[in-house]
Structure formats: C-alpha cells, structure tokens
Amino acid sequence: MIYLDYSATTPVDQRVLDVMTPYYTASFGNPSSVHRFGQQAESAIDSARETVARVLNCRPDEIIFTSCGSESDNLAIRGAAYAMREKKGAKWILASRTEHPAITNTLKHLEKYEGFLIEWLDVNEQGQVTPDTVSKAICDDTAVVSVMYANNEIGTINPVKEIAEICKAGNILFHTDAVQAAAYLHVDVNELGVDMMSLGAHKFYGPKGVGALYIRNGTPLVSHLTGGGQEFNLRAGTQNVPNIVGFAEALRLTNEERENRIEHVRPLRDKIIGTVLETVPDSLLTGDMESRLPHHASFVFKDTDGNLLLTLLDAAGIACSSGSACKTGNPEPSEVMNSIGLSRDWGLGSLRVTLGNSTTPEHVDTFLQVLPGLVENARSLKKK
C-alpha cells in the first residue's frame, strides 16, 4: 500500500515512541500523587509543557494538555463563549463556513442548547477568510472569533495574523484551529497574535489521543470538563503522561526539522498538481495555489463519485481521502465544497492527496500513472 493521506493521520515517529515507552512501564505513576512515582510523572509533564512553550514562544502555564485537537477546539470555543457571556453578556460567535466539524458542530450545539448566536463567515473561491470579512462582521456583542490556520480539505492557509490584529483592536477573543497547520507552518503565538490555538499530536508524527490548547495569559475561560484540578483547573482528569511526553517530542522534532520536511514534500506536491491537471480531463485544483500547505494537493473531478474513486484507489493499493477524515462516506458535497462555490456535479468528485516524510518519488509516479484511468472508471460506473 502507498499511503497518501497524511492529513488524516501520521505514523508515530520511532524517536517519539522511544521517549514515551518508559512512562508506560517504569515511570507509571499518577502525576497527582505525592510520592516519588507521582513526582516523576509530574516532572515529565512539566518538562513536556516547557518544551511545547518553547516552540510556541509562550509561557508554560499557557499550555493546557487535552485528549485531541477536537477537545482543544471545544475547550476554546465553549470556554470563551461562556466566559464572555458572563463577563459582558456577549452572545455572538463568528467562525468561517469551512471550519473542521470540531468547530462547526460545537457552534451548532451552542446555538441549539445554549442560546448563542452564530455568524458564519464567507470565504473566497480559494476557501480563504479575508480580514475585511472579519472586520465587517465583529461587533461589541461578539464573544469570540474562530478561523482555522490552514484548511484540512483544501490546504488553504488563512491570514490569521491579520485577523488576530482586527480582533485585538476590537477587544474580541480570537481562536485558531492549527491542527493541520502545525506540521509545516510556524506556530509562534506571539508572532501570530492569537489568544487561543488548538493542536493535535497525530498530525505531526505524535500519538493519537493527545492535544494541546494554547491560552494567552489573562484570557477568560470556563472549563467544560469538571473534576479534579489538573491542567490549572481547566481540564479535569488524570493526565496521559506517555502521550503528553510524546506530544512534546513530536512537536520539538517538527519544529527542528520543518524546513527539511517542506523541501521534501513541496516538489512532490507540485508535480502531482501539475500532472493531474494536465492528464485528467475536467479536473480543478481546490484551494489556493500559493497560500497552501506544502504537502497538500486537492482536486475535484466533474461527474465523479469521490467515494467510489477512493475505493478504486484503495483497490489499486493507494490510500487517499475525499476531504476531512471525519466526513468520509458522506454522499453529499462537504460544506467546504459548497462554500467555495462548486456545483454538485463538481463538489461530489473531491480528492485529497497529502504527502509525508515517507513519501517517495516512486509513490507519486505510481499514483499519477493509475489516477487518470481510475477517474475514467469512476465516471463510467457513475453513469451506469
């Protein structure tokens, strides 16, 4: 099998696994325990928090460890919404139409059950939220704005620094979902100017089941997971020590090796984009060509069943995606496809190809050789 779905998840780096292993066996203590076993576990978490803080250029006590990027999104959105409603009666939450379901479904829940008001920010044809759109939408009653750093389905990078500046000028909290971005983009929170930022380890060769939320000091936030006083009283529950250690090591390696990783994947991505558009009739690149994640290629093929194409690719030994791994199997075009203005005959035929550290030129050549024929087969089967 050739794996070309690194935006869905990545294998755990052996170096990450090596630093995690002792905390499953020898140093297995509960970090809340007073004795030496607990102290060892607590020290490991403290060290991991300091490592993450160095990469993000923030204070260690501004890092909250969670179970995943989705939980980080939930804590940021719910926590800020509750806090700002309590603080100044703010009820409006702004987010782009192309956010991950961890954001969109959380907002729909807050709207239905908690009485918050949601304004969905439009995107341009490349799937980008413009600063002007945000500037026109915010008001005194806005509790929080959330715009993702980079889109999971189409790879477009948003101008989060400029959006953060607009929100700061209006005294509005700004959150960004950087789960897809952290593998290849710089995540210096002071340079970006964000108040909150979500991360998930399994997108950059760390373990599944652990994430982090950066919360700028002084940002009002209400915990939505109550219990003990772990994670500065913002996220109850015994910390997952091995995974937290793995998260920190994976992020450290990503930060150190970022440029080399980009140099590896970008030429392969560009070859895929150029060749697919030349060899597959009625094909379009989705997302912005320039402001784009360096490992990410995404397309739509007219009059093609995207899920059927995935099945044919899988049978040919190639793993890809039709967009977000959380949406695979949905027979309708995703909200991202609709938001960038694609008609149904185009939007149903989406394909996402994402590369990683283990991707080789031979993998790419094989993919490019078989794709045109498989798209043709998928179109023929769809007509039947």
Enumerate the active-site residues: 326
Structural contact between residues 18 and 245, judged by C-beta atoms closer than 8 angstroms = no
State how far Cα 243 lies from the chain centre: 18
Angstrom distances, CA of residue 341 to CA of 104, 139, 336: 19, 27, 9
Q: 135 in the Ramachandran plot: left (φ > 0), alpha (ψ -120 to 50) or beta? A: alpha
**Taken in order 237, 241, 242, 244, is the CA torsion positive or negative?**
positive
Q: Apex CA 355: angle with CA 53 and CA 314, to 5°?
A: 130
Using CA atoms, how far apart are residues 359 and 5, in angstroms rounded to an integer? 10
Output b/e per residue, 20-49; b: 16+ Cβ within 10 A.
Answer: beebeeebebebeeeeeeeebbbebbeebb
196 CA to centre of own chain: 14
Report the SS3 class of residue 146.
strand
- CA 261 vs. chain centroid, Å, equals 18
Q: For tokens 């970008």, what's the residue?
A: 266
Report the SS3 class of residue 37: helix
User: What is the β-pairing status of strands 63-66 and 211-215?
Assistant: antiparallel
| Token output for 354 | 């994402």
User: Strands 173-177 and 211-215: what pairing?
Assistant: unpaired
340 three-class SS: coil
